[in-house]
Amino acid sequence: MFSNIKDRIRLLFRKDRESYFRFYKMLGFYPKDISIYEQALLHKSLSVKSEKGRLLNNERLEFLGDAILDAVVADIVYKRFEGKREGFLTNTRSKIVQRETLNRLAIEIGLDKLIKYTARQSSHNSYMCGNAFEALVGAIYLDRGYRACKYFMEHRIIGSYINLEKISRKEVNFKSKLIEWSQKNRFEVTFELITQSHDQGYNPTFESEVLVEGISGGKGTGYSKKESQQMAAHVALGKIKNDSGFIECIFAAKAARELSQEEVTVSDSKPSDSGAVTPDLSLEEIKKTDVVEQIISEAEEKAFKENA
């Protein structure tokens, strides 16, 4: 597909040929302008100034790569799953380009070891590797064009690290799945943020807990509130599937809640005595009601006397 033989011959006379060979092993072709790829691996914490005084890092390439990646994966998925509807194609693409998948892919191809960042920036940052992967795709596009991006994703990534058939059936949004289950079975589910702190690299971390009928279904941590809720929901779904004790507890709690609601409904539907006070009214409201009725009564009596 690409003129790798000619490129390799030319590289034999370059001092930085090791860098080119490293990218060739990862990409399947040699870069034309290696500086773009080096910028793709430069985290903003180690930004450098260009000759024009502009800060250089991988954020702009990440922006570009994000858009190109969406288009390339959509192209691949569209052609692989003929006859599938738009919703299926969209979900399958989102599972491939989501941050969790991109992080894993970056580590699989060894990209995480090439990212340059300050010591303060934690290597456990859940966004760094995925962002660098998107920036790499942006670099490929600028250096080699769309065709090379598709080749990289289709043959080097999806062909080696992603099972399209399997990932198309994979449930990813655990929170949505849990909420869907709760609505179908009429369980009350709530998410609560337990703690918000920082890890050793000063990156914000969150811990959330999911409650099913007020009973803890699981806790999860992540570098965003959304991620921590996803992890907690994942744990809860596992309990619903495998923990019979947990199932018994939430069914008992649900039954108690529904019984309590039925008792309140029955109580509200009973006719009140003529002299009984409406329980929903406060003492102050009751006094106001009595005053109004007295004013109306006096007005009616006065009108009756005038007409007599």
What positions carry a catalytic annotation?
66, 134
Q: Could you list the residues known to form a binding site, using ranges.
A: 62, 131, 134
CA distance 55 to 299: 82
Please give the structure tokens belonging to residue 39.
Answer: 């910028």
CA distance 52 to 224: 36
Q: Could you list the residues known to form a binding site for Mg(2+), using ranges.
A: 62, 131, 134
Tokens 């989102």 sit at which residue?
A: 94
**Residue partners of 160: CB distance under 8 A and separation at least 6:** none
DSSP code of residue 187: -
DSSP code of residue 44: G
**Residue partners of 170: CB distance under 8 A and separation at least 6:** 95
CA distance 286 to 290: 6
Neighbours of 145 (CB within 10 A): 11
Amino acid sitting at position 263: E
Inter-CA distances, 194 with 151, 209, 221, Å: 45, 7, 10
Helix axes 225-242, 244-269, angle to 10 degrees: 100
